[in-house]
Amino acid sequence: MAAILQLEKVTKTYRKGENEVHALVGVDLSIEPGEFLAIVGPSGSGKTTLLNIVGCLDSPTSGGVRYNGKPLGGLKENELSEYRKQHISFIFQSYNLIPVLTVRENVELPLVIERKLSKAETRAKADKVIAEVGLAGLEERYPRELSGGQEQRVAIARALVKDPYIVLADEPTANLDSHMAEEIVNIMREINRTRNSTFIFSTHDALVQKHARRIVTIRDGIVHSDERK
């Protein structure tokens, strides 16, 4: 199967005072459609940097990323924005919900920004994915009225509402207890199975690693192992 993402000799170097920090060092990685992949390693190993480069929130110092065979390095800022809007969704550790918006309004937000659907179509699509993550009946609640696990479900629904090809999840279970984390991972596994969306996790969580079908271990910016189950 052809790779949906191909990282080729990706290096990322930051300057910190007088020193250079090598966040990624010559990373080669090929990711196929529909993978459920965990990137693991200690803090500072380069996990989040790798996710940010794949999501075009950051750019490599050298090397490059291909999406469906097309290099992302030469894209203009508006083209990168379109790539993010049309193909990539993010799930964050801190949920990043807008507190003054209801569950439905938070989930609708990516569709409202795109302005491709009518108001009725936007609402119907949002309600469908809200039900898919087990929150039917809570559409009018505000984030402050939800548990942490429910907030993360809203974040997942918001990420999925635009039917992304790739979901990037940065420590999505870090703020949850083990029971709620298990529920969240099972929801994402089911979505991965039914939609064939590609999930890429940055995680320390052994639970996520247990359910992942592929584990890439990074230390000091270098890929040390790449294991498929």
In percent, the amount of the chain with pLDDT more than 90 equals: 81
Cα separation values, 43 from 7, 37, 47, 66, 73, Å: 21, 18, 8, 26, 27
Any residues with CB less than 8 A from the CB of 126 and at least 6 apart, and which? 104, 107, 108, 111, 139, 157, 161
Q: Find the Cα–Cα–Cα–Cα dihedral 51, 171, 84, 211, rounded to 10°.
A: 90
The domain spans of the chain are: 5-228
CA distance 29 to 8: 7
What whole-number distance in Å separates Cα of residue 11 and Cα of residue 7?
10
pLDDT (mean) for 36-65? 94
> What pLDDT, in 10s, does the model give residues 8-47?
999 999 988 888 999 999 999 999 999 999 999 998 899 9
What integer is the mean pLDDT of 65-77? Answer: 91
What is the homologous superfamily of the domain 5-228 according to CATH? P-loop containing nucleotide triphosphate hydrolases (3.40.50.300)
Task: Give residue for tokens 């590609």.
Answer: 198
Alpha carbons 137 and 25: distance in angstroms, whole number: 47
pTM: 0.91
